[in-house]
Chain A
Amino acid sequence: MGIKVENITKHFGGYTALNGVDLDVHEGELVALLGPSGSGKTTLLRIIAGLEAPDSGSIYFYGEETTHRRVRERKVGFVFQHYALFRHMTVFDNIAFGLTIKPRCERPDKSHIQKRVNELLHLIQLENMADRYPSQLSGGQRQRVALARALATEPKVLLLDEPFGALDAKVRHELRRWLRRLHDEIHVTSIFVTHDQEEALEVADRVVVMNQAQIEQIGTPEDVYENPATPFVFNFLGKVNLFHCRDGEGNPHKGPDGKTVGYVRPSDIHIFRDAETPDDLSAEVILIQSAGALPCIELKRDDNGAMVQVEIPRERYRALQLNVGEKVFIRPQNIRTFQTE
C-alpha cells in the first residue's frame, strides 16, 4: 500500500473539516480527491503532506506510520495551486532547491545537481528557460517548474493541490494530459485535489468523491460515473434530471410515492415526435442550445411542469428538426433511484 489514511478527523474551531476519513492509495497509483469547496479535500491532502496536523487518526506511507513525523522528513513532493515558486530564484535554482539544502553528507555534488536539474528541465520541456525568474513565465510554465521542483528530490509520494486550478481552460487541458503521460512514465504514488469532475475522470486511476468532511464514494472513473453510490455523487459528476417515482420501479410514469427520486443523466433521455409506449412523457421544447459537443434541449413536462434537460447526439438532433414551443415525447432510461429521508 502506498498511502494509508486511517480514521482522520480534523476540526478548525467549531468547523469539521474531516470526519473519520479512511483511504488507501496503492503504490504507483494516481488518485483524484474530488469534491466541492469546503468538502475537506485540500485539508486531507495537507494532512497527508504534514502541513496540517490531524486531531485524531493515522497516516502511513508504505506501511510506515508518518502521522507525527515532521513535514521535511516525510519526503513528499507537493505542488501548490498558486505554484509557490521562490520568486527571487531562477527556474534552475528553484528546481535545485530540494537538492542544495540537503545536509552536507547527503548532498549530491554540483555536477550531479546540474545533471538532475537538466533532466527535469527536459522532462517539463523548458530547457531554455533555466535562467528565467518565475515572474517571467506563464502560468502553465510556472506550474511545470513547480512540478519539476517537487520531483527533484525523488519523493515517495507526490501530492498536488488543485494543480491546474489557476490556469485557463486550454492550458489546463494540455497540462492534465501531460500529467497523465508523465505519471505513466514515472509511476510515483500520487494524489491530486480538484473540484473539476471532468479533470478527475480524465486523469485519475481512481476517483475519491468527497462531500461535507466525508468520502462519498471511491472507484474508477467509469465506476463513479456509471454507478454513483449516492445522490450527491450523481449530482456532482455531471448534469442530472430528477424524476419522482415509486419505490423499486424506475418508471416515472407510475406516479410518485413521495419518497423515491429517480436520477437520470441528460444523455439517457430520448426524444420522440410520437409516443411509442404508454410510458413516454409529453413535454414542450423550451430552449435549444445547439452549440457544443452535444446539443442540449430544455423541455417542460406537461404533467407536472418540471424542467427536463436532454442531450442528444448531433445526428439525432438534425433528424428531429426540433423547434421551440413544439410538443414532443421523452423517455428516460437508466434511471437510478434513491430514497429520500
Chain B
Amino acid sequence: MSDPSETFTVKSSRSLTEPRAVRWLLTGLALGFLTLFLVIPLVFVFVQALAKGFSTYWTAIIEPDALAAVRLTLIAAAISVPLNLVFGVAASWAIAKFNFRGKALLITLIDLPFSVSPVIAGIIFILLFGRQGWLGPWLAAHDIKIIFAVPGIVLATIFITFPFVARELIPLMQAQGSEEEEAALVLGATGWQTFRRVTLPNVIWGLLYGVILCNARAMGEFGAVSVVSGHIRGLTNTLPLHVEILYNEYNFAAAFAVASLLALLALFTLAAKTIVESKIRHHPGKTTGKTEG
C-alpha cells in the first residue's frame, strides 16, 4: 500500500471513532463484566479446590467414586461424540447438498434439543424407558436396565449434544454450494470419492470445531443426565453430578477439586477452539488469500 492511501486510512479511521473517554468507558465496562462473571468464578474454583492444601485436593480426585465419575463421563462422551459426528455429517450433507421432502422438518428436529429444557429431555427418557414408562415392562421382562444406569446417561447425552456438529456444518456446506461436488462427479469420481476428497476436506475444520463443542457439552451436561442417573455413587454419577453430591454434603474442598477438573476441561476446550478457529481463518479455502494477476 502506498503512503497517501495509508494516511487516508488513518485519518478516516480517526474520524470514525469515538472520543477517548467513551472508548475507555466501553472497554472498561466490557472488561469489568468479564472479570466479574467469568474470571473471578474461574479463579475462585481453583482457590477453593486448593484451600485445604494439595494433598486434600489430590485425595478428592483419586478417591474411587470420583474416578468412577471421571470414567463414566469419558464413556458417555466417547460414545455420544462419535455418534453425533456421524449423524451430524450425514444430516448436514443431506440438508446442504440435496433437496427432499421434509427437509425443513429435519432442520427443526435437529434444533429441538436446543429449545427443550434438559430436564424435560431427561423426563422424556424416564417416560419411555422408566419402570412405569412405555417400554418399562418389556425392558424389565428382558432384564435390560436403561434408566438409573449407564445406557440412560449415554442416551440423554446423545440427545442433548445432537445439534452441535450438524448446526456447525449446515451453514458451511450451504455456503460452499455443490458445484465442486458436481465437478468431481463429472471428472469420474464415485460418491464416496467425492465425499472423502472434496466435501470432507472443505469442512474439516468446521467439523472439528463442532466436535470440540459437542465434547465439551457431553462432559459438562447436568440437567438431563441428572434426571436419568439416579445418583448412584460410583455407578451412575458423572463428574457434574459428583460435584453436586459433594457440595450438598458440605464437602466443599472435594467438590471444588472435582469441579476444577471440569474447569480445566473448559480451558482446554477453549484453547483447542481458538486453534481450530485460526485454522479455519487461514484455510486456503476461505477467500482471505491474496488475489494476483
* Residues of A bordering B, CB below 8 Å: 49-51, 71-78, 80, 82, 84-88, 97-98, 101-102, 133-138, 140-141, 146, 149-150, 152-153
Measured CB to CB, the nearest residue on chain A to B285 is A87
Inter-subunit contact B189/A84 (CB<8 Å): no
Complex formed: what's the CA distance from A49 to B186 in Å? 8
* Residues of B bordering A, CB below 8 Å: 179-180, 182-190, 193, 197-198, 201-202, 283-293
B residues in contact with A98, CB < 8 Å? 187-188
A residues in contact with B286, CB < 8 Å? 135
Complex formed: what's the CA distance from A280 to B285 in Å? 64
A101-B189 contact, Cβ under 8 Å, with A82-B179, A84-B182, A138-B291 = yes
Inter-subunit contact B179/A87 (CB<8 Å): no
Inter-subunit contact B188/A137 (CB<8 Å): no
B residues in contact with A141, CB < 8 Å? 293
Inter-subunit contact A86/B188 (CB<8 Å): no
Could you give 23 example pairs across A and B, Cβ below 8 Å? A49-B186, A51-B185, A71-B182, A71-B185, A71-B186, A75-B188, A84-B183, A86-B184, A87-B180, A88-B201, A88-B283, A97-B189, A98-B187, A135-B286, A135-B287, A136-B290, A136-B292, A137-B292, A140-B293, A146-B183, A150-B187, A152-B187, A153-B187
Other CB < 8 Å A-B pairs besides A72-B188, A149-B183, 11 of them?
A: A51-B186, A71-B185, A72-B185, A80-B183, A86-B183, A87-B202, A101-B188, A101-B197, A135-B286, A135-B291, A140-B293
Q: Which of B193, B286, B291 has the most CB of A within 10 A?
A: B291
Q: How many A-B residue pairs have CB under 8 A?
A: 91
Complex formed: what's the CA distance from A71 to B285 in Å? 26
A residues in contact with B197, CB < 8 Å? 86, 97, 101
Complex formed: what's the CA distance from A133 to B285 in Å? 8
Inter-subunit contact B179/A86 (CB<8 Å): no
A residues in contact with B193, CB < 8 Å? 101
Complex formed: what's the CA distance from A86 to B183 in Å? 9
B residues in contact with A82, CB < 8 Å? 179
B residues in contact with A71, CB < 8 Å? 182, 185-186
Complex formed: what's the CA distance from A141 to B291 in Å? 11
Inter-subunit contact B284/A88 (CB<8 Å): yes
B291 CB to nearest chain A CB (Å): 6
Inter-subunit contact B293/A138 (CB<8 Å): yes
A10 CB to nearest chain B CB (Å): 16
Inter-subunit contact A87/B293 (CB<8 Å): no
Inter-subunit contact A149/B187 (CB<8 Å): yes
Complex formed: what's the CA distance from A193 to B286 in Å? 29
Partner of B179, one of A84, A88, A135: A84
B residues in contact with A49, CB < 8 Å? 186
Complex formed: what's the CA distance from A135 to B287 in Å? 6
A residues in contact with B183, CB < 8 Å? 78, 80, 84-86, 146, 149
Inter-subunit contact A97/B285 (CB<8 Å): no
Measured CB to CB, the nearest residue on chain B to A140 is B293
B175 CB to nearest chain A CB (Å): 12
The 9 closest A-B pairs by CB, nearest first: A135-B289, A138-B293, A84-B179, A98-B187, A87-B285, A133-B284, A84-B183, A78-B186, A88-B201
Inter-subunit contact A72/B179 (CB<8 Å): no
Inter-subunit contact A135/B189 (CB<8 Å): no
Inter-subunit contact B179/A80 (CB<8 Å): yes
Complex formed: what's the CA distance from A102 to B289 in Å? 31
B residues in contact with A146, CB < 8 Å? 183
Inter-subunit contact A84/B188 (CB<8 Å): no
A74 CB to nearest chain B CB (Å): 8
Partner of B187, one of A87, A101, A137: A101
Inter-subunit contact B190/A51 (CB<8 Å): no
Complex formed: what's the CA distance from A98 to B292 in Å? 26
A residues in contact with B285, CB < 8 Å? 87-88, 135
A72-B289 contact, Cβ under 8 Å, with A84-B183, A86-B180 = no
A residues in contact with B188, CB < 8 Å? 72-73, 75, 98, 101-102, 153
Inter-subunit contact A138/B292 (CB<8 Å): yes
A72-B180 contact, Cβ under 8 Å, with A101-B197, A137-B291, A138-B291 = no
Partner of A51, one of B182, B189, B292: B182
Inter-subunit contact A97/B293 (CB<8 Å): no
Complex formed: what's the CA distance from A136 to B179 in Å? 19
A residues in contact with B290, CB < 8 Å? 136
